[in-house]
Structure 1
Amino acid sequence: MYTIIVLLPLAGFLIAGLFGKQLGAKACEYTLCSFMVVAAVLSWIAFISFGFGEGETLRVPLLQWIQSGGLDVSWSLRIDRLTLVMLVVVNTVSTLVHIYSIGYMHHDPHRPRFFAYLSLFTFAMLMLVTSNNLVQMFFGWEGVGLASYLLIGFWYQKPSANAAAMKAFIVNRVGDFGFALGIFGIFVLFGSVNFDTIFAGAADVAATLGGGAAHSAAEAGAQAAHGAGDIVMTFAGYALTMGGAVTVVCLLLFMGAMGKSAQLGLHTWLPDAMEGPTPVSALIHAATMVTAGVFMLARMSPVFELSSTALTFVTFIGATTAFFAATVGLVQNDIKRVIAYSTCSQLGYMFTALGVGAYGPAIFHLFTHAFFKALLFLGAGSVIHAVSDEQDMRRMGGLRKHIPITYWMMVIGSLALTGFPFTAGYYSKDAIIEAAYAGHNSFALYGWGMTVIAAALTSFYSWRLLFMTFHGKPRAAADVMHHVHESPAVMLVPLFVLAAGALFAGIVFEHAFIGEGYEHFWHAALYTGTNNHVLHDMHAIPFLVSFLPTLMMVGGFLVAYVMYISRPSLPKDLATRNRGLYLFLLNKWYFDELYDFLFVQPAKRIGRTLWKTGDGKIIDGLGPDGVSARVLDVTGRVVRLQSGYLYHYAFAMLIGVAALVTWGMLGGAN
């Protein structure tokens, strides 16, 4: 069953990619959607039967891949609770996006190619989440990077789409370089890239660093039995002990996660990726690809638990990202960019939870976030579809009566995002805030403060989006408003399914993910060691602390209501009076401008210098171009002698005879 789940999207990609023109668009759409429906149903069956049963971790071997020295990499599927959660998320959202795209991409002439890319992305993501070793995970990691490049730049006729695709590809390569170095470091420390060996070695290292005796049970884990003061690795010229080496490796792995999950510093590609079709935004940049970094850290939680320094850094970056992205979302005018920055902020929440050791709440929020964020993106797509592809909220307004179903779907998604009581976000996001308060590392309270502030900002920009888009007077052109219409059923049905998840996923799965059934449900898929007391401590925090996120949610709503319903002139007045702050937020803290100044322009200048001077003047000038130029000069002068006049030839013969006589005389004298 698990092999079928993974390979069905690959089969769909091959069918649409190789035979799309022969089959036609409709045949490709229905075939690939059918494959995805089967994969999604099987994923839910596996999740319910295996995930809530007594089953142990399964390993499904597929083929032998790499055998070189001590490196043994088999291609196999690792099936545990964490894998099953991701299978449900990936296949459910991907199926709904496939179905939604039938309506949204109806007029696009390249639908077979689009659906092929969707299925390729889904296959790569499934390979990532079912991997049984880090090399197989890296294959899926790079696969989703390739597929996202193809999907973001799907409308390749648009220069902005091409630029966004290149930006996403290049920025992710920065993070992926760190991820690759982290994999190398894992192999040096544990002698393997297979998860079972790594986790066994991590237990040995924990005993060693904790003062206990190493008890390596396998030869592959023998390297983990070094004393805490032994030199086990050199990095950038520095000798590292086991504790230092583990920290460096964890930070390198997190560098990969920062790129893929758009954390502060490597986040700049995510908003620009909105140049792709809206279904792409829902699939890649809301529910699946951007959560790959969260999944990877959760999978490697036994290793990250060995380094409090690395976890503290994860907390700091996650909390700062949650705050940063929320501030930028306050002033964005593109409806998709507001939701994109919301995604960036919510990913910051997840990393904050991972940093304080609350792995269950992090994955719980990943699970619930997939439903309500995909709902918001697809709802935004329905709005864009209704208003003739307009994305600027300043040119919308008054749409509530024209597209009421889309409006209520967006309301449900926004309620879940803001943490309205008893919606999915209420259970998962508030759990992260409580875990940050109960955390024990030095940035835990910082994480709590940033996530609480971000909760208020999230509520404000979510309601701002709703008020600007659906309420007030229509601001669109008269001909646009005349054609505003509700989306077809093929686009609305996926919204209904996602809305059900946004409303009920939290209350249904809270007990298993973060409640009393936590250890039984996860069953060693996440780190549940005795040293991690966060989940226990978060249930003992003061009532006011647990109620504070709800207060922030209400406060954000009230401020948005005053500014965009009661006094709609107030936002413009505030922006005028605080011009500097407004431009700072509107320009996204000037990260793009800073990177352009520090990296892009110097790289262009260096490249231009190497091209014009190094290659053009020096290499080509002294090399082939220079030699050919001298040959042309000589031959040009020789050609002039071939004038066709007899006296010129006689003169040349005379010079030759004189030269020959001179040479003979001088030669004879010698």
Structure 2
Amino acid sequence: MPEFLLPLIVLSPFSAAIILFLSAGRMPARYVGLLATGSVGLSAIISVILAVLLLSAPSAEPIRVTLWEWMHTPVFSAHIAFELDPLSLVMILVVTVIGFLIHLYAVDYMRGDPGIARFFGSMTLFIAAMLVLVLSSDLLCLFIGWEGVGLCSYLLIGFWYTNPANTAAARKAFYITRIGDAAMLCGLLLLAATVGTLQIDTLTEAVTAGQITPTAVTGTALFLLVGALAKSAQIPFQTWLPDAMAGPTPTSALIHAATMVTAGVYLIARLHILFTAATVAMTVMAVIGTLTLLMAACSALVQADLKRILAWSTISQLGYMFLALGTGVWQAALFHLMTHAFFKALLFLTAGAIIERVHHEQNIFRMGGLLRTMPGIAGSFLAGASALAGLPLITAGFYSKELILSSVWHANFPISSRFSLSGHVLWAIAVVGAFLTSLYIFRCFFIVFFGPLKKDASGHTPLLMAIPLACISFLSVFGGVVEIPDTLAPVHLFTQMLNPSGFFTHTEDPAWLLYAGAAAPLVGLSVAWLLWGRTSSVIQEIPGQTIIIRLTESGWGFDILYDFVLVRPFRFLNWLGRHDILDRMSSGAASATRRTNAFLVRFRTGILSYVSERTIVMTREGNVLLARMQNGRVRWYAAWIVTGLCVALASAVLS
């Protein structure tokens, strides 16, 4: 029975996507939403059933099913096969449950859009591709899902393709993630050439047994890390994610919460044994995650667009996950991935409701006082903001972020044989990031919902949009109680589910470590209240008065750098190709060569003709002269002899 349900969880949204694409808009809008939401809802129900079956089984054996053998050679084989274990179980529950709520929200949000069938077709295909990614037991099969989510993100970001900015954002996301995909493919080829298979279980056994050389392990880990960084928008690939806000808000919620950006985190967690054996990759991962969380938090603090604030927030929270992965505590990264899916989906969906009711205005400084006109939306946004900030004890984000901070404190990152980077430094930066997270999200909350009313809010939030908000609000507040620090209560349901054998050990953390992590978001909330929460804000909008603010608001100049280093040279080469400049230069060179050759031929012919003619003339005239000299008169001959003799004697005397 479980083996039958496993492929069905993917087949349900995939079949709906095919039907919606083939309908070509001929299906009524209400049936489009019903089909898409129902298919994802069916996958969510199957996920819950599989969770009950897997967790209630006396043994912790994964559920495996092989659909068919994709390819087989004497040295390599690949299968289309699925495997359900605790790690993939967490992912399918997050993808299907949060995906279902987002689809339910989108039914009312996208009503009246002429491309609704194309929208829901891309959304359900997105869910199917993500499920293939997280369920695959073979890395080549996983790569199919990996490319599938990249394709669907392109379709959804550029959904409103009549606007050139949207298509540009879609192309940007596609190009940048393709760089990572190429690196990932190189890593897969290196693994296939080294081990002869891409079966995940076989690969991890080979790494554990030392059958792969350290050089191959490090090279593979770095290639795969580049792919994960690009997909999860970490430095230096983070520039595509803020521009991905060009798509509809349900798309933003799906990409940022349950799919796409979490794929890189899942890949590293799935192959954590391989990455743990590559200390260089682990150190690079932790440092990049730390820099990303700090850089993105600073960028979110100076944004004015509501959705871009949340986009930079996603990049920052993914930085926390990569920091946890770099310490080797992948369970903490998965726990934060789950709670992040709750509160980030909630924040994006509430942002969509706000934007729709204020006539598609996204600048937070043109809003204000919305607490009086939409108190329910304000409550949902407050729940999401509190979970994102990690307010202690009352939100899910606090528990997941605390698990990351405690794991970083005890970590040590080798840089060379003589030097290492202490986890205390990265812990301090992560705490500063927690302070900035609370500061920028409550800045957004106070500016939008407090103060004088600047824009009238029309209408009300429909029931189909309100139900998902209520459900995800509950998860954002109470979804973290499955893992609580020992200082508060020894509850470790999440990590025990991921490690039934008890591999994950909980260290004895000093109490002040927990208090410091809890104090950072509270300090950020207090500062945000002092600056923006009171009746008259201390700080108003700063329209880029300094270079630092302009640089931070633009994403630290990465786009400018890439424009000069990559985009403009590529466009120049494209211009050369489009206008056939090289062909024209080649044709011009050939024409000049032909003209030069013709000139040389004419010049050579003229010179030879002139020399020939003058030789003939001189010969003829010499002949006439000699003929006159040979006239048969003896006395003339004697005179010539005497003259020559005199000249010869004179020359001899003078010399």
State whether TM-score is above 0.5: yes
Q: Does 1:103 pair with 2:108?
A: yes
Q: Does 1:561 pair with 2:540?
A: no
Aligned mate of 1:485, from 459, 462, 476: 459
Q: Does 1:584 pair with 2:551?
A: yes
Q: Is the 8 A contact 1:29 1:102 kept in 2?
A: yes
Q: Which amino acid aligns with 2:47?
A: S
Q: Does 1:452 pair with 2:423?
A: no
Q: Does 1:552 pair with 2:524?
A: no
User: Could you tell me how far apart the structure 2 residues matched to 1:201 and 1:293 are?
Assistant: 22
Q: Is the 8 A contact 2:257 2:345 kept in 1?
A: yes
Aligned to 2:386: 415
Q: Does 1:321 pair with 2:283?
A: no
Identify the range of structure 1 (373-382 vs 50-59) with the bigger mean alpha-carbon deviation.
50-59
Q: Does 1:287 pair with 2:258?
A: yes
Residue by residue, what CA displacement relative to the aligned partner does 1:119-174 show, whole Å, maximum 9, x if unpaired? 01111101000111111111100000000000000000111100000000000011
Q: Is the 8 A contact 1:316 1:446 kept in 2?
A: no
Q: Is the 8 A contact 2:20 2:120 kept in 1?
A: yes
Aligned to 2:214: 243
Residue by residue, what CA displacement relative to the aligned partner does 1:270-314 show, whole Å, maximum 9, x if unpaired? 000000000000001232210000000000001011111111111
Q: Which amino acid aligns with 1:547?
A: Y
User: Could you tell me how far apart the structure 1 residues matched to 2:437 and 2:269 are?
Assistant: 25
Q: Which amino acid aligns with 1:182?
A: G
User: Could you tell me how far apart the structure 1 residues matched to 2:243 and 2:365 are?
Assistant: 19
Q: Which amino acid aligns with 2:466?
A: L
Q: Is the 8 A contact 1:61 1:74 kept in 2?
A: yes
Give the 5 Å matches for 1:488-499.
Answer: 488-499=462-473
Give the 5 Å matches for 1:242-321.
Answer: 242-321=213-292
Residue by residue, what CA displacement relative to the aligned partner does 1:512-567 show, whole Å, maximum 9, x if unpaired? 9x955567522489xx76xxx7x433xx2222222112211111111111111337
1:467/1:459 Cα in 2 relative to 1: closer, same or farther (>3 Å)?
A: same
Return the index of the structure with the highest Cα Rg: 2
Residue by residue, what CA displacement relative to the aligned partner does 1:581-618 show, whole Å, maximum 9, x if unpaired? 22221122111111111111122223334554654414
Aligned to 2:601: none
Identify the range of structure 1 (130-139 vs 444-453) with the bigger mean alpha-carbon deviation.
444-453
Q: How many residues align?
A: 578
Residue by residue, what CA displacement relative to the aligned partner does 1:375-414 show, whole Å, maximum 9, x if unpaired? 0000100101111111111111011111111110000011
SS in 2 for 1:22: coil
Aligned mate of 1:367, from 335, 338, 352: 338
Give the 5 Å matches for 1:352-501.
Answer: 352-422=323-393, 423-441=395-413, 442-443=420-421, 444-476=423-455, 481=456, 483-501=457-475
Q: Which amino acid aligns with 2:266?
A: F
1:30/1:622 Cα in 2 relative to 1: closer, same or farther (>3 Å)?
A: farther
Aligned to 1:662: none
Aligned mate of 2:138, from 133, 138, 152: 133
Q: Does 1:85 pair with 2:64?
A: no
1:47/1:407 Cα in 2 relative to 1: closer, same or farther (>3 Å)?
A: same
SS in 2 for 1:154: coil
Q: Is the 8 A contact 2:483 2:494 kept in 1?
A: no
Residue by residue, what CA displacement relative to the aligned partner does 1:326-380 show, whole Å, maximum 9, x if unpaired? 0000010110000111100000000000000111111001011101110000010
Aligned to 2:599: none
Q: Is the 8 A contact 1:403 1:485 kept in 2?
A: no
User: Could you tell me how far apart the structure 2 residues matched to 1:432 and 1:30 are?
Assistant: 39
Aligned to 1:220: none
TM-score (norm 2): 0.84
Q: Is the 8 A contact 1:342 1:458 kept in 2?
A: yes
Q: Is the 8 A contact 1:246 1:307 kept in 2?
A: yes
Q: Is the 8 A contact 2:29 2:111 kept in 1?
A: no
Q: Which amino acid aligns with 1:153?
A: G
Aligned to 2:625: none
Q: Which amino acid aligns with 2:506?
A: H
SS in 2 for 1:536: coil
Task: Measure how far apart 1:41 and its partner are.
Answer: 1.6
Q: Is the 8 A contact 1:402 1:486 kept in 2?
A: no
User: Could you tell me how far apart the structure 1 residues matched to 2:228 and 2:400 are?
Assistant: 21
Q: Which runs of 5+ in 2 are unaligned?
A: 414-419, 596-655
SS in 2 for 1:50: helix
User: Could you tell me how far apart the structure 2 residues matched to 1:619 and 1:71 are?
Assistant: 47
Q: Which runs of 5+ in 1 are unaligned?
A: 206-222, 225-241, 631-670
Aligned mate of 1:7, from 8, 11, 20: 11
SS in 2 for 1:595: helix
User: Could you tell me how far apart the structure 2 residues matched to 1:471 and 1:19 are?
Assistant: 46
Q: Is the 8 A contact 1:402 1:485 kept in 2?
A: no
User: Could you tell me how far apart the structure 2 residues matched to 1:73 and 1:588 are?
Assistant: 41
Task: Measure how far apart 1:188 and its partner are.
Answer: 2.5
Residue by residue, what CA displacement relative to the aligned partner does 1:8-39 show, whole Å, maximum 9, x if unpaired? 00011011111253322211111221111111
User: Could you tell me how far apart the structure 1 residues matched to 2:159 and 2:31 are?
Assistant: 20
Q: Which amino acid aligns with 1:508?
A: V
1:148/1:551 Cα in 2 relative to 1: closer, same or farther (>3 Å)?
A: same
Aligned to 2:479: 505
- Across the aligned residues of Structure 1 and Structure 2, the Cα RMSD in angstroms comes to 2.4
User: Could you tell me how far apart the structure 1 residues matched to 2:209 and 2:144 are?
Assistant: 28
TM-score (norm 1): 0.82
